[in-house]
Amino acid sequence: MENETEPKAMESGKSGGSRKIDARQLLPAGLIVISVIWIYKGVTEFGFWNPLRGGTPAFMPICIATVLLFTSTIMLFLSYKEVKPVYTQLCFLFLVLCMAIVGLSLLIGFLPASLLFVLLWLKLIEKAPWKGTLIVFSSLAAIAYGVFNIWLSVPFPKGLLFELIL
């Protein structure tokens, strides 16, 4: 999220002052957790090495996770010298909207839900004029139905509502 205190956080990071955990440490910390999970699951479920057959199914994943753990730990310490990343709220809203489209598609169908997203984004977020909106909307609808639905016969879900009507 756009952080109003960001300049302060950036300054403290640069001067090597307070070592609070912030967005810079998110990724290295997350990767450390993933590496530990991979190593733990690999060792407990499959073991590492078979004397006769060489690597077990977890051999390569454990090797890779070990390197990732090591490098992520280094990065965790180096991250305090980095510039704090600024995330935009609209980007996360966009991702939430995409997931909402997936949910809505169960009700009204995948193509209608996706086209509805296009319409709502253009009118509510971009405040685009109706002419441009309808041109884009109809072009995308033509591609979706013409290419994917009719030519390639991709079976997009029709949604509960349409299935009840049909």
Partner 1 sequence: MENLGMLLDGMATLMTFQNISACVMGSLLGFVIGALPGLGVISGVSMLLPLAFAMNPVTGISLLGSLYYSTMYGGAYSAILLNIPGEAAAVMTVLDGYPMAKNGRPGPALFASVAAGFIGGLIGMMTLVMTGPSLARFGLRFGPAELAALMILALSSIGWLLGESPVKGIISAMLGLLLGTMGLDISGVPRYYFGVVHLLGGIPFAAFAMGLFGFSQVLEMIELRNSPTESGEIDASKLTLKNSMLTRSDFRRLVPPALRSGILGTIIGNMPCIGATVSAFLGYTMQKFFKSKQPLGTGAIEGIAASEAADNAAAAAAFAPMLALGIPGSATTAILLSALMVWGLQPGPLLFTNSPKFAWATIASLYLSNLITLALAIVFIPFIIKILRVPMKYMIPGITFICLIGAYSISNSYYGVIVMIIGGLLGYILMKGNYPLAPVLLAFVLSNLFETNVRKALLISQGSLDIFVQKPISLIILILISALILSSMAKSAIGAIKARRKA
Least distance to partner 1 from the beta carbon of 11, Å?
19
- DSSP-based three-state secondary structure for 1: coil
Q: Tokens in use for 75?
A: 């990065």
The binding site for partner 1 (CB under 8 A) comprises: 23-24, 26-28, 31, 34-35, 38, 41-42, 45-46, 49-55, 57-61, 64-65, 67-68, 71-72, 74-75, 78, 82, 85-88, 90-91, 94-95, 98-99, 101-102, 110-111, 114-115, 117-118, 121-122, 126, 128, 132, 136, 140, 143-144, 147-148, 152, 154-156
Contacts 24+ apart (CB under 8 A), 136-143: 140/115, 141/111, 141/115
CA separation (Å) from 68 to 39, 41, 56, 81, 93? 11, 15, 19, 20, 31
- Pick between residue 5 and residue 139 the one whose CB is nearest to partner 1: 139
- What phi and psi values does residue 132 have, to the nearest 5 degrees? -60, -40
Least distance to partner 1 from the beta carbon of 64, Å?
5
- Pick between residue 52 and residue 165 the one whose CB is nearest to partner 1: 52
Round to whole Å and give the CA distance between 34 and 29.
9
Least distance to partner 1 from the beta carbon of 16, Å?
18
Least distance to partner 1 from the beta carbon of 94, Å?
6
